[in-house]
Structure 1
């Protein structure tokens, strides 16, 4: 799989024409889908883990096989790091890695639906100070815009979950749309923010996807969001 990843193909050539209307509608509403019992159980297990720490929480949403979670654990050695993914197969590779290396004590892997886990974390008023969203499914067809996180009713919760959020993607349109939606949210909620979008080249790829995309010579994009209305934990 090294160096043979295809670029994202789409019948969409810019920011989706319906995105502003979608985001604006969701910013004035609340997502109320029932949360499954298994997600509540996963959240309770994660809540028990983070309760043993006195420092803010770091989220690695869609962590896959957990490489990015380990990288975040090195960057934030005193914080609880939650690697969340819905795939049992991917998470089994993350936990199996413990047979080869020692998983840091501040790492906890959680199998859960991201959208519902985020809602539970927001309802519990968790102190999440950094949220990583690395290489989410781009849902590249024009008709799939509502499946992208910024085109979904969960987006307001995502914005409010943490004062620091970083998205990485290999699809420029996803990065453009995400930054566009963040700016709409910041204006709607009257937030003081820093929102940036840039091309970057990873010195040490942080996920398996990042490694594959980099070796395939894809352009990689990073969108960073800082909500200056809340204190930011910088360690």
Structure 2
């Protein structure tokens, strides 16, 4: 492991806005009250990477609480540090495996989920690892409030098509579907948030897909 990664791992251990593995457990069912010290809605970004979307959402919506989730602490470091430096109180980060989500959040504790540019896991043998596979959707259903929204933003056409197919197969409610977000009528201030990698995709003239749906 490089020196920079080791330094970041050591530093995030001192950040009040980052919880890791075991120390995230006591907040299950109480993230708003015990972590954020309020009763505002809780929104998750899964596989948040450097936390760019999480932090920007928190800037736009100070009346909501945002938690970025990723297992790679050296990535979380950037978003957490930005939130500290800019004194953004309504953002936090949790370093866990997403498949263990239900161990860290209570039933119907979460109001909304964002999945932004996840690993598409293109091999058929890795379908269960896709963050929009039925296996993961079932986990989200346990922590999401009834009618809570799931947003998928991806440059990967196959993941977009796969997710739309699962939404239809499972009889879920689809609200927005577009294969070319920035040439569609759906663009909003929220969807205009662009991560570092998304900007690179756009420079390469890649289309950006977007889906919004709920599980019931």
**Secondary structure of 1:150 counterpart:** coil
TM-score by length of 1: 0.68
C-alpha separation in 2, matches of 1:98 and 1:129: 21
Q: 1:35-58: per-residue Cα shift (whole Å, max 9, x none)?
A: xxx634324357655212212211
| 2:167 matches 1:196 | no
C-alpha separation in 1, matches of 2:82 and 2:109: 28
C-alpha separation in 2, matches of 1:211 and 1:80: 26
1:21 is aligned to: none
For these two proteins, the number of residue pairs brought into alignment is 183
Q: Shift in Å at residue 64 of structure 1?
A: 1.0
Q: 1:147-182: per-residue Cα shift (whole Å, max 9, x none)?
A: 212336232122454311100111111011112112
**Secondary structure of 1:149 counterpart:** coil
Which one of 52, 58, 61 corresponds to residue 46 of structure 2? 61
Aligned pairs for 1:80-159 (under 5 A) are 80-98=65-83, 101-121=85-105, 124-151=106-133, 153-159=135-141
Q: 1:84-118: per-residue Cα shift (whole Å, max 9, x none)?
A: 1110110112223256x414111111111112124
2:199 is aligned to: 211
C-alpha separation in 1, matches of 2:86 and 2:108: 27
Structure 1, unmatched stretches of 5+, are: 1-37, 230-235
CA 1:142/1:150 → structure 2, altered by over 3 Å: closer, same or farther?
A: same
Q: Shift in Å at residue 204 of structure 1?
A: 4.2
- Higher RCO structure, 1 or 2 (CA under 8 Å, sep 6+): 1
2:13 is aligned to: none
- The answer to whether the 8 Å contact 2:68/2:93 transfers is yes
CA 1:111/1:46 → structure 2, altered by over 3 Å: closer, same or farther?
A: farther
Structure 2, unmatched stretches of 5+, are: 1-19
C-alpha separation in 2, matches of 1:68 and 1:172: 20
1:175 is aligned to: 160
Aligned pairs for 1:8-47 (under 5 A) are 39-45=21-27
Aligned residues: CA RMSD: 2.5
CA 1:159/1:46 → structure 2, altered by over 3 Å: closer, same or farther?
A: closer
TM-score by length of 2: 0.73
Q: 1:109-143: per-residue Cα shift (whole Å, max 9, x none)?
A: 1111112124542xx22432221010110112233
